[in-house]
Amino acid sequence: MTPRTENSPTAGFSTLGLDERLLAALTTLGYEEPTPIQRAAIPPLLERHDVLAQAATGTGKTAAFALPLLHLVTPDAPTRERTAALVLVPTRELAMQVAEAVHKYGKPLGVIAVPIYGGASMEGQIRTLKRGVDVVVATPGRALDHIRRRTLHLAAVKMVVLDEADEMLDMGFAEDLEAILAATPPERQTALFSATLPSRITAIANKHLRKPVTIRIEREAVAAGTLAKVRQVAYIVARTNKMAALSRVLDVEQPVSTIVFCRTRTEVDELTETLNAHGYRAEALHGGLNQEQRDRVMKKFRANKTDLLIATDVAARGLDVQHVSHVVNYDVPVAAEAYVHRIGRTGRAGRAGVAITFAEPREQRMLRNIELLTKQKIEIAQVPSVADLRERRLDSTRNALRETIIAGGLESYRAIVESLAAEFDVLDIAAAAVKRAESPAGEKEEAEIPSIAERPGSQPRAPGQRIAGPRPSLERSRPPKPGTVRSRPGELAGIYIGGGRKLKIRPGDIVGAIVNEAKLSAESIGSIQIAERHSTVLVPKDIIDHVITALNSTSIKGKKLVVRRDRA
């Protein structure tokens, strides 16, 4: 495919038939081209076909249904109280995320989308629904509550989306889904998205979807050995620490010529600006540049006048660069195939290359998808510590000194050493000179950057030591809400929860329960370990009883579970 170089960053979207205002919203967000699931699902949905699609989180599936939904459900003020679209999702976190995405994409259309989920006040939701909303994004249980109370009217619904349908079935919502669908008009359009398509899902599809267009995104086969020469490393860091972690990794790796990939054009611009402000020589490359600007950027990169090329996938396609030492994924790419294309740019012509990926905790599953595709392991590493950085700087200083000594021409400097030698030991003089060379006076102290990769019970690692063994299964879900309990940083203690993988409990469920029920901020929760039949979570020791009481009075994944102090 030829790279798009004109000022039409959403050219890839414009062929899909979406409303101009939606295309404008995508341009503002910096999306350059549709992901595979978007390319496959948007046209049939716009043609009002039912769709059965296999797509996991992180593939861009939300926009795949939200964009056509918004296109078809343009708000109609007088009838707004008659909800026009319903999206059903398994969890309250997803309800909030999807409603936010619908709001974000539908801003220029003035569409009102609200999340409706259990655990929140019924009265507040009733007031919101009464005011009139175009799109309801709901968890099944709460949607049914509102239908039964006649506070949610679905008679005018044109489109229903079942998002993460396999999860909803796993959580025991099958009957609720039946009852909700029965309350919608039979002539509605229905889209079903699911990460997996087991027979229970196809049975639902057969019953409720009319001649659906079935979409499975086939994975491109990755030729054996394609990435063999590439060292693949990932750092799991919170979004807020990503920039600091990138700077640290760049300082330690000291890459010669690097491409940093971002998902959107907006991210490319922001990151380029920040990196330049931090003293790197970075240039942006995205679909918004014209050919001349693009050529200029590439010329500088080839001539080593730029250290870092910050690019979107579209802009980097077809690039002819020979020596890329490092490829950095500032975001995990939306499609696993894009990862292969990105990192295939390094490690060429028999050279060793390095691929570095920054993943947020909730994106760890995407890393696993990539591993499945490439059949290669991505090593999860700790963000280099301040000690690693110092060691690295000392190394370069040592090398530079060696070269300087060999190059000679030191006579005038020897005079300074001789004058000081009358007063001090020569080794001390040399050590002081190294100190000044390594960290000039006035330089800011570096701080440690937390990697989220600690497992309970694990031995403390030496700084920078890589993590081997099982992947830590920690996810943090949301930033703290106002009014949440923030504990002081201090000792953590373990809580035992009598349910695990067998009940399909995931770290996000535990974080969600603690944040919502114990009002603890997500970031004060420590690591979470999910075993077959139980789970453990670390929480600040000083409020452990409060958390246990809160968890004992609620359910996790719809089940009342034993919750107590972890004796281990």
User: Which chain residues interact with ligand AMP by CB under 6 A?
Assistant: 31, 34-35, 38, 57-63, 263-264, 334
Give dist(CA 471, CA 533) in Å, integer.
Answer: 18
Rounded to whole angstroms, how far apart are CA atoms 311 and 261?
Answer: 5
Closer to ligand AMP by Cβ: residue 61 or 146: 61
Nearest-CA neighbor of 336 among 362, 375, 308, 285?
Answer: 375
Closer CB to ligand AMP, 32 or 50, in the complex? 32
Based on CB atoms, which residue is closest to ligand AMP, 41 or 334? 334
Residue pair 178/16 in contact (Cβ under 8 Å)? The answer is no
CB of 62 to ligand AMP, least distance (A): 3
What phi, psi does 532 have (nearest 5°)? -60, -50
Q: What is the radius of gyration, based on Cα positions, of the chain?
A: 27
The terminus-to-terminus CA distance of the chain in angstroms comes to: 56
Which residue, 9 or 353, has its beta carbon nearer to ligand AMP?
Answer: 9
Nearest distance from C-beta of residue 263 to ligand AMP, angstroms: 4
Phi and psi torsions of 348, nearest 5°: -85, 165
Q: Which tokens in the block code for residue 26?
A: 């995508």
Task: Give the nearest distance from C-beta 534 to ligand AMP in angstroms.
Answer: 29
- H-helix or E-strand spanning residue 400: helix 386-407
Q: How many CA atoms lie within 13 A of 70 on its CB side?
A: 30
Please give the single-letter amino acid code of residue 41. A
Query: Least Å distance between CB 102 and ligand AMP?
Result: 11
Question: Cβ closer to ligand AMP: 52 or 332?
Answer: 332
Min dist CB 246 to ligand AMP, Å, is: 18
CB of 64 to ligand AMP, least distance (A): 7
Residue placing its CB nearer to ligand AMP in the complex, 59 or 364: 59
- Tokens 């609200």 map to which residue? 114
Element (DSSP H or E) covering residue 559: none
User: Cβ of residue 240: shortest distance to ligand AMP, in angstroms?
Assistant: 16
Alpha helices in 254-355 (DSSP H): 265-277, 291-302, 313-316, 336-343
Question: Which residue's CB is nearer to ligand AMP, number 105 or number 301?
Answer: 105
